[in-house]
């Protein structure tokens, strides 16, 4: 399998679905919004976009499986599995805020080998494949070279239903608010990770995330020269519902803080 060729097809598909999402943004009304759980919203656009991605990706890689957010297909154990978030940032989308994305990763057995994140409103496509560089559209990107936590700009996301670790999270949030250049929260983990990969952010941390939130973005960060782990420093950030990442200079400090403040020592 030539991943460099396959990802061209993936990016074409993702851009096509992105055009559909953009075309529907002025047609969402309250009757189109369903609630999956506390603060967890879904629309017909999420479901239709997921179905489009599944149909197209099935054609370019027959026999592959899917791990998807909206459960429009049953997940089956396959050698190759697509991990899809058809609309990361649904709440932003519903409220007309321009920070929402499509995230598509391909996993072979238990290893992610390809990832694409499309910032729909900006038209920015971030992508990479195993052993390849990371790209923003046609330009190679790398993580920042910010050398100290004090000079860094960070991103995070707020938990919307799992508040068990909220006190520990807020403790870390406060420390970083007081000891960095600032923290931003855009409401799409996939975009946050893509912006770490291209150096706009120096690091990112969040808990209570799902595989489809982070699979593509974390892969692109790593291919762009960054580091990712769970809060203990292990590799279970894809399914472990927690992630910390950054450029090689500030990542150790973020990891140390997460180990200390998120009770992971």
| pLDDT per residue as tens digits for the range 25-40 | 887 765 556 655 444 5
The pLDDT of residue 62 = 95
Do residues 9 and 136 both lie within one domain? Answer: yes
Q: pTM for this structure? A: 0.93
Q: What values do phi and psi take at 135, rounded to 5? A: -125, 150
Residues 135, 164 within the same domain: no
Average pLDDT over residues 251-257: 97
Residue 119 dihedral angles phi and psi, to the nearest 5°: -80, 105
Domain boundary among 141, 172, 193: 141
Structure-model confidence comparison of residues 158 and 156, the more confident one: 156
Q: Is the Cβ–Cβ distance between 79 and 110 less than 8 Å?
A: no
Side-chain half-sphere exposure of 254, counting CA atoms within 13 A: 33
Same domain, 83 and 161: no
* Least confident piece of the model among 25-39, 107-121, 145-159, 242-256: 25-39
Residue 78: predicted pLDDT: 82
**DSSP state letters, 161-182:** S--TTHHHHHHHHHHHHHHSSE
CA-to-CA separations, 179 to 124, 128, 176, 197, 256, in angstroms, rounded: 31, 32, 5, 22, 14
Q: Does 96 share its domain with 160?
A: no
Task: Answer yes or no: are the C-beta atoms of 189 and 213 closer than 8 Å.
Answer: yes
User: Would you say 175 and 261 are in contact if contact means Cβ atoms under 8 Å apart?
Assistant: yes
> Based on the domain organization, do 19 and 92 belong to the same domain?
yes
Domain that holds residue 207: 149-261
Q: What is the pLDDT of residue 39?
A: 44
Do residues 120 and 246 both lie within one domain? no
Residue 254 near residue 149, CB atoms below 8 Å: yes
Residue ending a domain, choose from 94, 123, 141: 141
In contact, 102 and 118? CB cutoff 8 Å: yes
What's the total number of domains in the chain?
2
């Amino acid at each position: 399998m030539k991943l460099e060729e396959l990802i061209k097809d993936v990016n074409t598909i993702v851009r096509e679905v992105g055009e559909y999402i953009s075309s529907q943004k002025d047609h969402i009304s309250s009757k189109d919004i369903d609630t999956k759980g506390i603060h967890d919203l879904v629309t017909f656009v999420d479901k239709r976009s997921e179905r489009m991605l599944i149909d197209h990706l099935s054609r370019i890689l027959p026999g592959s499986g899917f791990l998807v957010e909206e459960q429009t297909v049953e997940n089956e154990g396959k050698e190759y599995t697509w991990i899809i978030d058809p609309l990361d940032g649904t709440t932003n989308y519903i409220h007309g805020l321009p920070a929402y994305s499509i995230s598509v990763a391909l996993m072979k057995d238990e290893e992610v080998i390809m990832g694409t994140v499309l910032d729909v409103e900006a038209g920015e496509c971030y992508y990479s494949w195993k052993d390849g560089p990371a790209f923003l559209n046609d330009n190679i990107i790398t993580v920042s070279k910010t050398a100290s936590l004090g000079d860094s700009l960070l991103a995070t996301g707020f938990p919307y239903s799992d508040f068990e670790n909220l006190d520990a999270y807020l403790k870390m949030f406060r420390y970083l608010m007081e000891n960095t250049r600032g923290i931003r929260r855009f409401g799409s983990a996939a975009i946050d990770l893509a912006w770490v990969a291209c150096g706009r952010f120096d690091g990112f941390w969040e808990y209570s995330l799902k595989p489809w939130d982070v699979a593509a973005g974390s892969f692109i960060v790593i291919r762009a020269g960054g580091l990712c782990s769970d809060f203990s420093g292990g590799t279970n950030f894809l399914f472990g519902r927690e992630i910390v990442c950054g450029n090689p200079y500030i990542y150790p400090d973020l990891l140390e803080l997460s180990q200390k403040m998120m009770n992971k020592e």
